[in-house]
Structure 1
Amino acid sequence: MKHPRGIEIGRPRRDGITYIGPVADPISTAIDDAQSFMALGGMCPSCEREAWIDRHELRRKWGNAMLNSLQPRLRCLGCGNRQGNKWITGQLPR
């Protein structure tokens, strides 16, 4: 069951998103700082699962929060891990 204050690293989507890498500086990066052609996602270090998160839903729920403050709320749906999950970026297809 999804906790109302959590952010789940969901099922992997095959939307043609090209993985770029981890967010360089989540401490000073807000949700709105990501460019419109970039996708935000989460990566679990335990099972190496990567999944993309709906940025508009994230913005609606948390406002323009810093990614570092939301990082402890990331939870992997594959293994249930809550520790050490990282933000990743990808490029949306044209």
Structure 2
Amino acid sequence: MKHRRSIELASPGHHAVEIEKETLATLPQWYVLHGRCRICRHETSIDGREIARRYGHDLSLANLAKRLKCQGCGNRSDNLLLLQKLPRD
């Protein structure tokens, strides 16, 4: 499922995430954040705890997506915030 701001959300059948309301503090711990550049396709994992320490735990995922900058080419626009659900026992 894709949000109108090009943020890819969890696939149907999984725990849905509302990016406008979901913050780094309320995001379940079994989700891992990744960023992907639309221009050069560079992808990297994002340390949610480090981002929360810098910008506050109340930073919404929508606002985080707006702040993404590619480490490869420096692109700041239209980057993707990806959520990966870790397997749970």
TM-score by length of 1: 0.65
Runs of 4+ in 1 over 4 A off after TM superposition: none
Gaps of 5+ in 1: 1-20
Report how far residue 66 of structure 1 moved: 0.8
Which structure dedicates a bigger proportion of its chain to strand? 1
TM-score by length of 2: 0.68
- Aligned-CA RMSD value: 2.1
Match of 2:71 in 1: 77
Match of 1:33 in 2: 26
Show CA shifts across 1:35-64 (max 9, x none). 112111211111122211111111111112
Report how far residue 25 of structure 1 moved: 3.8
Larger RCO (alpha carbons 8 Å, 6+ apart): 1
Gaps of 5+ in 2: 1-6, 10-16
Q: 1:25 to 1:45 in 2, by over 3 A?
A: farther
Match of 2:13 in 1: none
